[in-house]
Each structure stands twice: as structure tokens, then as C-alpha cells.
Amino acid sequence: MKKDIYKRFEIIEGHLPVYRSELYKLLEVNEQRALSKIKEIKDAVDQTMLTNFQVIDERVDKFSELVDSNLETLRKAITDNRDTYVSVINKSTQESEEKMNSFVDDLENVVN
């Protein structure tokens, strides 16, 4: 029985170099496949980041244009309102002066 077991071990030992080389080949194939998958993932992430940066740049440009447009509209509105307020203040001042002048004239007439 011992001889049988030793023979089996000898057979197995005889096949070990073949098993070892097959195992190394499988490991090499797996490593290559893993490296190629990692490269694919890296390329996909790079492309996604590039696309995202382009979209963000476009949106920032649009936002900037809208802000510029809104600020220009606000500036025009403020200018228009300023002109309106100045006109109202001038009209009030003129009416007040006219009332005072009329009052002074009436007082002079009373005095005379």
C-alpha cells in the first residue's frame, strides 16, 4: 500500500511543473484582464470628468451672461427710477416755491 501511495505522489510530483506552468499562465491571463479592465475604467472616468468639466464650463458661461444681463437691466431700472424721483422732487420743490411766493405776495398785499 505504501508503494501505491508513493507511486501516486511520484505521478503528482511529475505533473507539478505542468500544473505550476498552467497556474502561472492563468494568473498572467487574469492579471492582464484585470489591467485591461482597470484601464477601461480609467478611460471611462477620464471621459466622464472631461464631459462634466465641459458642461460645467458651459453652464458657468451661461450663468455669467445672465448675471451680466440682469445687472445691466438693474442699472437701467435704477437710472430710470432716479430720473423719475428727481423729476418728482423737482416738481415738489417748484410747487413749494410757488406756494411760498404766492404767500409772500399775499402778505405784501396785506401790508400795503
Say yes or no to pLDDT of 3 above 80: no
d(CA 30, CA 37): 10
User: For residue 2, is pLDDT > 90?
Assistant: no
pLDDT digits (tens, 9 = 90+) for 53-90: 999 999 999 999 999 999 999 999 888 888 888 888 99
Cα distance between residue 40 and residue 47, in whole Å: 11
**Residue 16 confidence (pLDDT):** 84
pLDDT digits (tens, 9 = 90+) for 4-32: 887 887 888 888 888 889 999 999 999 99
**95 has pLDDT over 80:** yes
pLDDT, averaged across the chain = 91
Report the Cα–Cα distance between both ends of the chain, in Å, rounded.
Answer: 156
Q: What is the DSSP string of 67-108?
A: HHHHHHHHHHHHHHHHHHHHHHHHHHHHHHHHHHHHHHHHHH
pTM of structure:
0.51
Per-residue H/E/C for 29-72: HHHHHHHHHHHHHHHHHHHHHHHHHHHHHHHHHHHHHHHHHHHH
**Residue 110 has what pLDDT?**
86
**Predicted pLDDT of residue 23:** 93
